[in-house]
A and B are shown apart, each in its own frame.
Chain A
Amino acid sequence: MYMFLDGIQSERRTSMKFYYSVRSCPYLVAAILLTCPSVAAAQQTDIEASADAGAEQVEPDADRDAEMEALKERVKQLEARDATREDQFAELKTAQEELADEQEMAGFEEGMEDASEQVFNIYGFFDLTLLKTFFDKGSPYTAFIPEKSSFGMSNFNVYLSSKMTETLSALGELRFSFLPLGRTDAYEYEGIPPEGIPAQGMYGNEYDRVETWVTDPFSTQFYRQGGVSIERIHLTYAPADWFQIIAGRYITPSGIWNIDHGSPVVLPVRLPWMQIRELVPLAQLGVQVAGRFFPTDQLFFDYAITVSNGRGPIESVQDLDENKGVGLKLKLSYSGDRVRFAVGGYGYYGRYTDSKKVVRVFGLSPDADPDKPLQFEIVDTSVYDEFAGATDLLIEAFGFRLQSEYAVRYEYIVVPAPLDADEAIFAGASPLDTLYEASSMGHDVYVLLAYELPLHKWISPVRITPYVMYEYGEVNDTMPYVNMDQFIGGVNVKPSPFVVLKAEGMMAVSGTDLYGSNLYVISAQMAVSF
């Protein structure tokens, strides 16, 4: 009996503990019931077994059964409440996410306004070149290039770019220079007196080199002035890919080198001869209409029509004739995953005119009209028509770069200009002789082959690109001394996206024997973009 009572009390204690556990932790109960039905079943079996064992001695306890039923009912209620809470929790979470989205959207309104505002950038590049030349002592090469090893800074270009609206932008490129310091204005000819021979049109015979010292009157400090060249400054209106208008001074959309043009971009140190001799004008002042079409997603077709002052002695200030320079560019490019290909051409026609202004005053000039006592007449001193064409080819594949350009130019002289003394002596004449320009033809082609070594896995971001280049330049068939073949080889190293180091050797073979031996140049350059 005691044992039975103990069993009942023990069972009741267990049930009460279970009850309090249920009250204190409904989740635990639910978890136990859900995850361990076998435990509950086992417990039920134990209870039944215990009841069976006791049945032999006592009758079933009705209170205990009622209590068990009440407990089961309570568990069901708690489970139902738990499910309701989960639903409420899910609803709250959704509402919170929606609120966060709304707050984020509201944040967009404030945070993104700047994106549509005017964007203004200043950047640029400069370079430092070390040059050493080798040629026969006394060779006419001395007239053009330094004989002694020398450092030089040819480029300090600053860009000003502004994107005013979605379709309107402006771009300026200024080239700062120490020039004209050091420019040779006149040579001294042995055998001619210092005052020259005025009777033959030669006034003075002294070596003259430009000096640019100035004094600040406020501080009395001496310093050297430099020069500024406006490479380009233009407005671009680009409402669509297929149509844009560029107005101002723009870089002629011809070839590859002329567009690349910056020392951090081009591979070699030396420019191609066709760039130096300007077979096609490098820049023009006027208007350009350009655009791009897309025959396929990887194929681009570019066009450009240029109208400008053309070439002239002061074409960046004003045109001295009514004949405008016109040009047309067509280019087809393919841009694949590992292969890029482009072929293009540019044709140009223009008239070069130089002139002087002559004043006629009645009583002084024999041709003056008494009805028009003061007249100004413009007299052409040099006029020629020119036709120029250029084609270019670029293939980039698997680290290789093959680049080539060909340019041809025909110059038809209308009003011949006299050659100056320096040009006369290179033509084989005396500086006292008067020679005139003649119609001429010139053409030039270069081929550049480069290969970027596949070392990026080991030395990234460093890029090392060896290159070789050959140029055949017969830029003027009436002036053999300006014609030249060039053989160039070198290596271009980019230790960072902003710095380029180059080392190069060059051999030039002149189109005339006037220079004696070949010209050899070794050079190193550091080009920096910022």
Chain B
Amino acid sequence: MKGRLIVFCLACVAFLVSSVNSVKAESPNDILIVANKGVSAGSLSLDELKAFFFKERTSWKTGGRVVPIHANEDSALRKAFLSKVLSMRLAQEKAFWQEQKIRKGMAAPPEFSNTLKAVFKIKGALSYIFRKDYREGVAKILLVLPN
């Protein structure tokens, strides 16, 4: 009985270690949430990120305006971001912004084919990119969403 318990505990530890390793493992399809290097914020919560992309929140906690930037709507990156962060499909997002335009005159975030370029250039910009497309030093990583 004692031996079985020890085996069970070891199995649990092995499972946990393997889980931690799998979480830490980097994948080229991880989504990196990146901001312009001039942004002084060092990190971002998922709720803040959602609020920025729904324009419920428009300023960084550390000051300055946030400019959320989407990838092109037909890109795999945009679909992955919508699914993982905003929990909606493209059609739902379109409908949301159609309604927001009528309610409050609010427009959807602008789209760029190369979000990293846009983040590099635009002051206060916030966007996302697959890890495989990231270039060191071009933007600041605020959050990593594992694949």
Question: A: which residues have CB within 8 A of B?
Answer: 101, 104-105, 107-109, 111-112, 115-116, 119, 121, 123, 125, 157, 159, 161, 163, 166-167, 171, 173, 238, 240-241, 259-262, 264-265, 292, 294, 297-298, 300, 335, 337-338, 456, 460-461, 463, 494, 496-498, 529
* Alpha-carbon distance A173/B102, docked complex (angstroms): 9
Q: Which of B2-10, B15-23, B52-60 contacts A (4 or more CB under 8 A)?
A: B52-60
Query: Interface size bucket, B side?
Result: 35 or more
The interface residues of chain A, by DSSP majority, are classed as mixed
Are B47 and A123 in contact (CB-based, < 8 A)?
Answer: no
Are B101 and A529 in contact (CB-based, < 8 A)?
Answer: yes
**Residue among A108, A111, A157, A259 with the highest chain B CB neighbour number at 10 A:** A108
Q: Which 9 A-B pairs have the closest CB atoms?
A: A461-B91, A112-B121, A297-B47, A262-B102, A497-B95, A171-B105, A497-B94, A108-B121, A241-B59
Given A159-B105, A294-B57, A300-B56, A108 contacting B120 (CB threshold 8 A): yes
Kindly state whether residue B135 has any CB partner on chain A within 8 Å.
yes
Which residues of chain B have C-beta atoms less than 8 A from A497's C-beta?
Answer: 91, 94-95, 98
Are A112 and B103 in contact (CB-based, < 8 A)?
Answer: no
Which residues of chain B have C-beta atoms less than 8 A from A298's C-beta?
Answer: 47
B11-40 toward A: CB 8 Å interface, digit per residue (1/0)? 000000000000000000000000000000
Given A108-B120, A240-B59, A461 contacting B95 (CB threshold 8 A): yes
Are B95 and A494 in contact (CB-based, < 8 A)?
Answer: yes
Selected A-B contacts with CB under 8 Å, 26 pairs: A101-B135, A104-B135, A105-B120, A107-B117, A108-B121, A112-B120, A115-B110, A116-B122, A125-B102, A157-B102, A159-B101, A173-B105, A240-B59, A241-B57, A260-B103, A262-B99, A264-B98, A264-B102, A335-B51, A335-B54, A461-B91, A461-B95, A494-B95, A497-B91, A497-B98, A529-B101
* Alpha-carbon distance A109/B95, docked complex (angstroms): 33
A109 closest partner in B (C-beta): B121
Beyond A108-B120, A498-B98, 13 additional pairs, beta carbon < 8 A: A101-B135, A105-B120, A109-B121, A112-B117, A115-B67, A167-B65, A240-B59, A294-B57, A298-B47, A335-B56, A463-B95, A497-B91, A497-B95
Which residues of chain B have C-beta atoms less than 8 A from A119's C-beta?
Answer: 107
Are A456 and B59 in contact (CB-based, < 8 A)?
Answer: no
Which residues of chain B have C-beta atoms less than 8 A from A112's C-beta?
Answer: 117-118, 120-122
* Alpha-carbon distance A264/B102, docked complex (angstroms): 8
B44 closest partner in A (C-beta): A297
Closest chain-B Cβ to A295's Cβ sits at a distance in Å of 12
B106-133 toward A: CB 8 Å interface, digit per residue (1/0)? 0100100000011011111000000000
* Alpha-carbon distance A241/B47, docked complex (angstroms): 16
Kindly state whether residue B45 has any CB partner on chain A within 8 Å.
yes
Which residues of chain A have C-beta atoms less than 8 A from B50's C-beta?
Answer: 335
* Alpha-carbon distance A492/B121, docked complex (angstroms): 43
B99 closest partner in A (C-beta): A265
Kindly state whether residue B89 has any CB partner on chain A within 8 Å.
yes
* Alpha-carbon distance A102/B106, docked complex (angstroms): 36
B121 closest partner in A (C-beta): A112
B61 closest partner in A (C-beta): A294
* Alpha-carbon distance A401/B105, docked complex (angstroms): 23
Residues of chain B in range 61-77 having any CB-CB distance to chain A below 8 Å: 65, 67
Are B117 and A108 in contact (CB-based, < 8 A)?
Answer: yes
Closest chain-B Cβ to A248's Cβ sits at a distance in Å of 12
Closest chain-B Cβ to A267's Cβ sits at a distance in Å of 11
Closest chain-B Cβ to A17's Cβ sits at a distance in Å of 46
Which residues of chain B have C-beta atoms less than 8 A from A109's C-beta?
Answer: 121
* Alpha-carbon distance A170/B117, docked complex (angstroms): 29
B122 closest partner in A (C-beta): A115
* Alpha-carbon distance A13/B40, docked complex (angstroms): 73
Which residues of chain B have C-beta atoms less than 8 A from A238's C-beta?
Answer: 58
* Alpha-carbon distance A259/B121, docked complex (angstroms): 35
Closest chain-B Cβ to A483's Cβ sits at a distance in Å of 29
* Alpha-carbon distance A105/B117, docked complex (angstroms): 8
* Alpha-carbon distance A262/B143, docked complex (angstroms): 37
Set B45, B107, B122: member contacting A297, Cβ < 8 A: B45
Set B56, B59, B118: member contacting A115, Cβ < 8 A: B118
Which residues of chain A have C-beta atoms less than 8 A from B47's C-beta?
Answer: 297-298, 335
Which residues of chain B have C-beta atoms less than 8 A from A167's C-beta?
Answer: 65
